[in-house]
């Protein structure tokens, strides 16, 4: 049954996400061709159309980056809290299976989106003539060289922090949407209140991390944050000798968000 849930989730989200990604790749091809033959455009009208294509490509990259997240979150609310939620509740599956299927599909879409966005830039740059395919190959060779010369622990840390960040962003919305669903009046206000509470808690935890790092590791550069960072889209991160502390806390935070979401879905399933 879990496999059927995954299939249904991919199909439901892909109806909008796949055309959106396809549009971005198509505009990348057009933008690359426009840039290549920009000097040969025969009239001002063609130049205006070329500008429009390039602008549309840039907007499509932004639309894919933001749109995929919105599509996934809207799917979560529609599937569990709208009229469709009554049908979802009749399925012979547990709340854990429902949540895990949505998390798995979300992470796959995040990864696919990142790959396709990078591919669109490569296509546009390659077709424009500004970036040769040999240059792209050289870039990948350079990346391979650095990957080969970093420790296995660093690779594991980056992978886990990236995955943890993806889960944190998704679970934070799941928890906020599920908790706020129990307030029929001023629901938007409760959305912001719950988000602010989580941000405040993560900031307090980040300050603790910095104090802990300085106290036990001696004077060292510390970097803390909520979402985003040089080491990946982690929710809480600390640079220095205790970077694994932030990673552990990130996954503990994910576990807390998951349990909150699961508990409200199971015991307080407020359907519209």
**Statement to judge: residues 164 and 193 lie in one domain:** yes
**Which pLDDT does position 107 carry in this prediction?**
92
pLDDT at residue 110 in the model: 92
Do residue 99 and residue 191 come from a single domain? no
The DSSP string of 129-195 is TSS-HHHHHHHHHHHHHHHHTS-HHHHHHHHHHHHHHHHHHHHHHHHHHHHHTT--SSHHHHHHHHH
Which residue, of 127, 149, 171, is where some domain finishes? 149
| 140 and 164 housed in the same domain | no
> Based on the domain organization, do 120 and 50 belong to the same domain?
yes
Structure tokens given for 213 = 């790092």
Asked which of 108, 128, 149 is the last residue of a domain, the reply is: 149
**Residue 55 pLDDT:** 87
pLDDT of residue 212: 57
**In a shared domain, residues 77 and 187:** no
Assess whether 173 and 209 both reside in one domain. Answer: yes
> In the structure encoding, which two tokens stand for residue 265, read together?
């879905």
What is the sign, positive or negative, of the torsion defined by CA atoms of 214, 215, 218, 219? Answer: positive
40 with 167, same domain: the answer is: no
Helix (H, G, I), strand (E, B) or coil at 57: helix
Domain that holds residue 43: 1-149
Q: Which residues of the chain have pLDDT under 70?
A: 38-47, 129-137, 139, 143, 145-149, 151, 183-243, 268-272
Q: How many domains does the chain have?
A: 2
Q: Which two tokens stand for residue 25?
A: 């790749």
Please tell me the predicted confidence (pLDDT) of residue 109. 93
Which of 130, 149, 168 represents a domain boundary (last residue)? 149
**DSSP label at 270?**
-
Q: Give tens-digit pLDDT for 184-204.
A: 666 666 666 666 666 666 666
pTM of the model: 0.74
Count the helices and strands in the chain (H runs, E runs): 8, 0
My answer on whether 144 and 271 are in the same domain is no
157 and 133 fall within a common domain: no
Q: For residue 173, what are the contacts with CB-CB under 8 A and spacing of at least 6?
A: 73, 76
Residue 169 near residue 240, CB atoms below 8 Å: no
Longest dimension (CA), the chain: 68
Q: Does residue 227 sit in helix, strand or coil? A: coil
What would the pLDDT profile of 223-267 be if each residue is shown by its tens digit? 434 444 444 444 443 444 456 777 787 888 889 889 988 988 887
Q: CA 38, CA 250: separation in Å to the nearest integer?
A: 48
């Amino acid at each position: 049954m879990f496999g059927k849930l995954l299939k249904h989730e991919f199909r439901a989200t892909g109806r909008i996400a796949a055309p959106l990604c396809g549009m971005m790749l198509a505009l990348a091809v057009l933008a690359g061709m426009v840039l290549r033959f920009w000097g040969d455009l025969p009239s001002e009208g063609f130049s205006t159309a070329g500008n429009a294509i390039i602008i549309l490509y840039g907007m499509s990259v932004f639309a894919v980056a933001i749109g995929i997240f919105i599509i996934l979150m809207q799917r979560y609310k529609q599937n569990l809290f709208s009229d469709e939620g009554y049908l979802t509740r009749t399925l012979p599956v547990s709340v854990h299976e429902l949540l895990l299927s949505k998390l798995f599909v979300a992470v796959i879409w995040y990864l696919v989106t990142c790959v396709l966005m990078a591919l669109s830039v490569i296509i546009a740059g390659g077709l424009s003539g500004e970036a040769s395919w040999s240059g792209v190959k050289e870039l990948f060779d350079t990346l391979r060289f650095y990957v080969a010369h970093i420790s296995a622990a660093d690779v594991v840390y980056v992978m886990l922090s990236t995955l943890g960040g993806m889960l944190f962003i998704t679970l934070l919305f799941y928890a906020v949407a599920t908790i706020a669903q129990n307030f029929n009046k001023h629901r938007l206000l409760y959305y912001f209140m719950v988000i602010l509470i989580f941000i405040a808690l993560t900031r307090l935890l980040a300050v603790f991390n910095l104090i802990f790092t300085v106290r036990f590791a001696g004077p060292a550069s510390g970097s803390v944050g909520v979402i985003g960072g040089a080491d990946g889209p982690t929710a809480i991160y600390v640079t220095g000798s205790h970077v694994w502390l932030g990673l552990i806390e990130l996954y503990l935070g994910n576990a807390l968000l998951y349990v909150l979401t699961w508990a409200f879905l199971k015991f307080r399933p407020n359907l519209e």
